Amino acid sequence: MKIKPPLIAASLLAFSSMALAQTAVPVAHTDVHSPSLDFMPPHDMVDRIMAEDPDVLQARARVQAAEAEARARAAGPHEFTLRGEYVSRATNIEGRLNEWSIGVARGFRLPGKANADERIGASGVAVAENGFGDARHETATLLKTFYIEWVVAEAEATFATEEVAGYERQLAATTRSRELGQAAILQVEQVQAALAQARALAAQARQVQQSSKVSLQRTFPSLVLPLRFQPMPDPQAPPGAWEEWRAAVLDDNHEIKMAQSEAERRDWLAKRAAMDRFADPTLEMRTFQERSGHETGFGIGFSMPLGGALRSAAADQAVAEASAAGIAARKALRDVEIAADRDVIAAQQGLVGWQQSRLAAESSRQMLMRMQRAVELGEIGLTELLLAQRQDFEVRRTELRARASAHSAVLQLMIDAHRIWSLGDE
């Protein structure tokens, strides 16, 4: 038996819904607490930022447009049409005659079309509403990304400033030793070279700091940055099992819901186009007067277009678009499943990477302290100490970026699961 394309689209949509039900266990969409939120903007400020974001406002306007379209489809495409005519003519026998006619006409939807129009409108509203939720989700992701970039830039600028200050103190001490004949000129030049390099890195860090701050504030004008920079706390895994978080991402995903709603809308549009192969009839009631009132009458008219190649092609186009939308819904489910897996892996590995970087930073700090003591005792030279200081700076910066990466991955998982910033309230 040959399967018609509309049935293919419906089957794909049903498959997507069934697969989603099998892979995602419903999770309560309540906000959770995490150390990753402690240095981020407060909840009420995030709400205001998302409410004022242009993409969110645009999505909200699309919801209003979809609701208006749904009302229009429920009302139907047909309206009453008033028709009138007046004629004044003259004859050789009867003289001048006044004649007129008045009529009212209206088309009527055939059975089933009104229900299809209502389903199309409802599906369109669902698409727009999920688009609104997705816009808030994307804004939250962008805010998270830009804010963490600014936090990292601020911290790296602080590190660079501290390093410059440390080399300046060391240069002053080495210069004083040189004046007392306790250090060679080569040692002074070594410290001067290290200081110049540190100042160059500090200038680059300040440039990145200013650039990230401008980008953050320009993108989110209502964001108020803290007066004092807040360092990032130690990241932690989100509460609950990892598999529960993966299921939460799949359970409440606007991208999947939007694709499924669009597939449903296209399927109903295909059904509606098939119904339109038989055009709606138009009924007309008219009354008239002819020969200056000698003849009057009342009549009922009927008209109906005869469908041809145009309506047939439109129906075939709608069927093909419904099939494409059904396939897109299945693809959206697959893509989100991959994204959910990546979210969990990124959070897990981000925490592991930060823990290793923290251990490396602690070891580097202890080694640097021992080398400073060794220099004081004359056991090693200044060259080794300068190299250790440079390595310690790089290790600290690596730990900072690993810390930020872990926080970013945990926040992304919670954003995609709609468990922070009231993203699960739509």
Q: Per-residue pLDDT tens for 30-41?
A: 788 899 999 999
Band of residue 425 on the pLDDT scale cut at 50, 70, 90: low
pLDDT in tens, 114-139: 999 999 999 999 999 999 999 999 99
Would you state the pLDDT for residue 79?
92
Query: Which residues make beta-bridge pairs with 300?
Result: 285
Would you state the pLDDT for residue 426?
56
Band of residue 386 on the pLDDT scale cut at 50, 70, 90: confident
Average pLDDT over residues 375-393: 80
pLDDT in tens, 303-334: 998 888 999 999 999 999 999 999 999 999 99
Top-confidence residue, 215 or 89: 215
Top-confidence residue, 170 or 380: 170
Average pLDDT over residues 166-191: 79
Q: What percent of the chain has a predicted confidence (pLDDT) above 70? A: 92
Say which range, 88-97, 357-366, 406-415, has the weakest mean pLDDT. 88-97
Average pLDDT, the chain: 88
Side chain identity, residue 203? A
Contacts 24+ apart (CB under 8 A), 365-371: 365/392, 367/392, 368/392
**Is the pLDDT confidence value at 397 over 80?**
yes
The structural domains of the chain, with segments of one domain joined by +, span 5-70+109-277+311-425
pTM, rounded to two decimals:
0.83
Would you state the pLDDT for residue 28?
43
**Is the pLDDT confidence value at 346 over 80?**
yes
- Domain 5-70+109-277+311-425 classified CATH 1.20.1600.10? yes
pLDDT in tens, 50-92: 999 999 999 999 999 999 999 999 999 999 999 999 888 887 7
Q: How far is CA 192 from CA 184, 198, 371, 376, 388, in A?
A: 13, 10, 20, 19, 16
Q: What percent of the chain has a predicted confidence (pLDDT) above 90? A: 66
Say which range, 4-13, 73-82, 233-242, 278-287, has the weakest mean pLDDT. 4-13
Would you state the pLDDT for residue 26?
37
**Is the pLDDT confidence value at 260 over 60?**
yes
Would you state the pLDDT for residue 158?
92
Band of residue 182 on the pLDDT scale cut at 50, 70, 90: low
Would you state the pLDDT for residue 307?
81
Band of residue 286 on the pLDDT scale cut at 50, 70, 90: very high
Say which range, 165-169, 263-267, 381-385, has the weakest mean pLDDT. 381-385
Return the biggest CA–CA distance within the chain.
Answer: 140
